[in-house]
Amino acid sequence: MTLKLVGRVSALALAAALATSLGACATTGEITPMTPLVPAAPAPAPATDYVNDAHSYARPAEARVTHVDLDLAADFAAKTLAGKATLDVTGRPGATEVVLDAKMLDIKGVTDAQGRALQWSLGASDPIKGQPLTVRIPAFQGGETQKIVIDYSTRPDASALQWLSPQQTAGGQKPYLFSQGQAILTRTWIPTQDSPGVRQSYTARITAPADLTVVMSAEQLTPKGEAAGAGTKAWRFKLDNPIPPYLIAIGVGDLAFAPFDERTGVWAEPSQLQASAHELQPTAEMVDAAEALYGPYRWGRYDLLVLPPSFPFGGMENPMLTFATPTIIAGDRSLVSLVAHELAHSWSGNLVTNATWDDFWLNEGFTSYFENRIMEAVYGRDAAVQEQVLAWGGLQDELKALAPADTRLHLELTGRDPDDGMNTIAYDKGAAFLRTIEQIAGREAFDAWLRGYFERNAWRPMTSERFLEDIRAHLIKGDAGLEQRLQLNAWVYEPGLPSNVQAPVSHAFEPVDAAARAFYVAKGPASAVPWKDWNTQQRLRFLSWRPEGLAAGADWLTPAQLADLESTLKLDREGNAELVFAWLQAALANRYEPAVATADRFLTSQGRRKFVLPLFQTLWAEGDWGRPIATRIYAKARPLYHPVTSNSVDQVVGRP
């Protein structure tokens, strides 16, 4: 997932997912999104080395879900998905019940495969975890699989689902539905064992209005849908590879497809398809680069779905179908490292998955490192290092803002929402850790270890302890000196940054910093800033620049400077969302009144939490000036946001 910014955030951190403005030629040709990639390998068996998950009621060592089959109908008027989930369950000999996770679900009944009623109960509700759904089943004899069929409906306010009116879409004519399961939201639309350590394959039949298209994080078996009566079509899907439940995903809307090559392409609303296809054209080259680095891509197709603006994240690594924010469509392909990030998750996260959310860094730290290596392979070393430097700046701010315990890689999140651990630490401290290992052990040895790590641990839940066992066995190999230089335990279990960390340095930022000092400190004219000569990273470095030692909340730019900057660089007309965000962070923190209109447009036109939450935090921190502005804008914007975003902003400004 491309997230990084939760809680108090600096504008420096926003740029860790950016790339240089490099172009490529678009391709044309006829291809369907169902074209197979490579001959499918036999589906792997899910691992059974479970770890206790404080955020799930499941007891997989007793009885566990191995497969989910969905037969659901999308009702846009009622804003519900309703139907049946058939679960394949295995268990230890003598086990007589299976415990599932459920939240905000209306359970109508549970039967076995023959339709015989099974006893079931919902336990007490927890505001974070929801409820345990316990189903009584015949005692397992050993080795067999039982099926349970759950008849249920979601609720209109299910946290994983966002139902959009036609007015909230790009086309403005048809409604839209999409899901977001990470971290523990899948239980609000599917009753299953919603833990990242309990992998499940899945199949689905989804019925929707006939004029809409259904896509999922799975192979699409019905390219044009099947007539289902009463103005509806049914769409069927399957994913043989077992995945953590948070990766089961759905999108329903007015969608069209454009290919990049025989195994990659993009879905988007028709009005957005041409721009999306142009912007994301480098995807195919990135897949090739990723495979050259760390082994074959194991998921069949790699497609993207460009979602409506309310999607709360930059991207979500749903297998076979990355969900992406439309805010990456900058027109110059300058933000495509988001694609590299989500693609890298096909190895780190989807193939080898954190067993619990305490070890989220094993998903995101590895992925952020891998992302940067893909960008280096495709765009060159200089571009990759610029991204490292920008991410490093954001990491420094996050280290200052968080409680020391929350700056460790391995966290203790029992009793807390797992979203509390989804911050820059997991991403950028994790990536810095792997870069440190690479620098000390050497790239050749490190790459051989990491490629083997993905192979050895494929389809397996991973913990910090298991990671340390693996790297000691397969990279350190008893070398006491190397072990000492790496400081592994300090990186994983201690707060802050160990002494062996090396800050990245980009010479491309030296002229940017000089221009920043000339404008911000010496108060020179904005016309002297060589804006047109810079790439996106350099522009972000300039807009995010702050004097050393600046006190939190201190005004440091005059209205005249801000006006000069805005008019000269045309920041009020900027189309790159990352640059708009960086500009607004500086302008609002200095109470620049003319920027309020831009902030209003920006906050009511997209719902990406990375942008929305910090801007409301900045406004709220400005007291009697900013809080009325925040309250007014949020009253309009909140109905447009996904619950992931609105729940976070609610904690800052309160519900309007």
* Active site residue ranges: 342, 427
State how far the alpha carbon of 265 is from the alpha carbons of 34, 39, 320, in Å. 10, 19, 10
Cis amide prior to 58 (ω within 30 degrees) = no
End-to-end alpha carbon distance in the chain:
29
Contacts of 437-443 with C-beta under 8 Å, sequence gap 24+, read 437/471, 437/475, 437/486, 439/502, 440/482, 440/485, 440/486, 440/500, 441/475, 441/482, 441/486
Report the C-alpha gap between 446 and 452 in whole angstroms. 10
Q: Could you tell me if residue 535 is left (phi over 0), alpha (psi between -120 and 50 degrees) or otherwise beta?
A: beta
> Is the separation of the CB atoms in 397 and 429 below 8 Å?
no
Beta bridge partners of 344: none
> CA triplet 57, 61, 65: central angle to 5 degrees?
70
> Quick one: CA dihedral 608, 610, 615, 621, positive or negative?
positive
Helix, strand, coil shares of the chain as percentages rounded to 5? 40, 20, 40
Report the C-alpha gap between 653 and 656 in whole angstroms. 8
What would the DSSP string read from start to end of 452-519? HHHHHTTTEEE-HHHHHHHHIIIIITT-HHHHHHHTHHHHHHSSS--TT------GGGHHHHHHHIII
Report the C-alpha gap between 14 and 613 in whole angstroms. 12
> Is the separation of the CB atoms in 138 and 90 below 8 Å?
no
Strands 250-253 and 120-122: unpaired
Longest dimension (CA), the chain: 80
Strands 80-91 and 63-75: antiparallel
Q: Where are the beta strands (DSSP E) in 1-91?
A: 63-75, 80-91
* DSSP conformation class of 348: B
How many other CB atoms are there within 10 angstroms of residue 397's CB atom? Answer: 18
Report the C-alpha gap between 353 and 351 in whole angstroms. 6
One-letter amino acid at 326 equals P
> Is the separation of the CB atoms in 192 and 65 below 8 Å?
yes
> Is the separation of the CB atoms in 50 and 186 below 8 Å?
no
Residue 392 contacts by C-beta under 8 Å, 6 or more apart in sequence? 428, 432, 503, 504
Q: Which two tokens stand for residue 311?
A: 């999607």
